[in-house]
Amino acid sequence: MKSIASAPGKIILFGEHFVVHGTKAILAAIDKRVTVTSTFTENKTVKVNSQLGTLEMPVSFSCEEANSEFRPFVYLANKMINSNQNVNGVEITIDSDIPIGVGLGSSSACCVAAAASISGLFKELSSEEILKISIEAEKTIFPDTSGADCTVCTYGGMIVYDKIKGIEKIGNIFDLNLIIANSMIPHITKNSVEKVRKFKENNEERFSKLCAYETRIIADVIRVMEDEDEEDYNIIIGEKMVSNQMLLKEIQVSNDTLDGMIRSLTLAPDPDEDWYIDGAKITGAGDGGCVIALVGLDIAMEYKETEENLRRVRAVLGKDKECFSAKIDTGVRSKTEQ
């Protein structure tokens, strides 16, 4: 029997980093996915095949003995094998079209897809159960995770996330035309989160003010998203992205490359330019990774079915940056085959 599950990558529209410290965040699942296929094996081992290499380890070993990129898979496989006496081992194969280490949720999507795929060999779990074990798996490499990324990878769509209260789905999703641009600078989320923790320790009062600003930004965005009559929603959301980026810059997770990309995107290079971006910001941990840009609404509508928006963004950012458009996608999907 084969158990196959896929989970989406994600973007964070608002609230990265601050969500770790108790504010809300707004996230969306995107149409770049990771697929994990699991099968039983006769050997008493956990075998993981991925684009990062292959690992085979006796089931009796703990996940801490694996390199960090394999740890969540070993954790999940061991957890399930050890609670089922009739099983020897499991082989897991990971196929991903989510770029790694650029803030698009590759590691969370892997944890969610692996949790659904491996558990599917044993019994079907609810979304809540998949989310719970995928966060446990993610914590083997990133103990301070807010759980936001695994949550949106599990449920899909656009969500508001709160570390304590969990998830609220946003009902009325406006058609946001977002372009993702990769700075091509890899980052390690855990290190950026640690850096922000230090910033908070050294600037307690200022940090709590920044959290209050973030809370206000997110409340305003939710209000706009829920108001079907708000005609200027794209402009307002764009402005809030710009404000959010200022907070991210202050907590030092932006850098010259990201600032430069955002500046080029938001300042029209030509005063007669009929094409504009309403707002741009880092998405995810920052210190590299990706930025998101919200294309002006009338223009987005006009160019919707074309590659024109991407062509324009590429023209602004130059050939060395990777750009793609993002569509909102569904959460984890799984099936078994004989």
Residues that bind ligand MEV (CB under 6 A): 12, 16-17, 19-20, 103, 145-146, 148-149, 189, 193, 284-285
Q: Could you tell me how many residues make up the chain?
A: 338
Active-site residue 270, yes or no? Answer: no
Selected catalytic residue, list 31, 95, 149, 287: 149
CB 63 → ligand MEV: shortest distance, Å?
19
Residue 121 or 292 having the CB closest to ligand MEV: 292
What 52-61 contacts at long range (C-beta under 8 Å, 24+ apart), as own/partner pairs, is: 52/100, 59/88, 59/89
Residue 55 or 137 having the CB closest to ligand MEV: 137
CB 145 → ligand MEV: shortest distance, Å?
4
Answer for the pair 37, 229: CB distance below 8 angstroms, yes or no: no
Residue 20 or 262 having the CB closest to ligand MEV: 20
Q: How far apart are CA 291 and CA 179, in angstroms?
A: 8
CB 189 → ligand MEV: shortest distance, Å?
5
Instruction: Name the phi and psi angles at 190, rounded to 5.
Output: -55, -40
CB 289 → ligand MEV: shortest distance, Å?
9
Strands (E), the chain: 2-14, 25-41, 45-50, 53-58, 89-96, 158-162, 166-169, 178-182, 277-283, 290-295, 322-326, 333-337
C-beta nearest to ligand MEV: residue: 146
CB 12 → ligand MEV: shortest distance, Å?
6
Residue 57 or 102 having the CB closest to ligand MEV: 102
Residue 248 or 294 having the CB closest to ligand MEV: 248
Burial class (CB in 10 A: 0-12, 13-18, 19+), 239: middle
Closest to 287 measured CA to CA, from 240, 251, 239: 251
Mind telling me the catalytic residues? 149
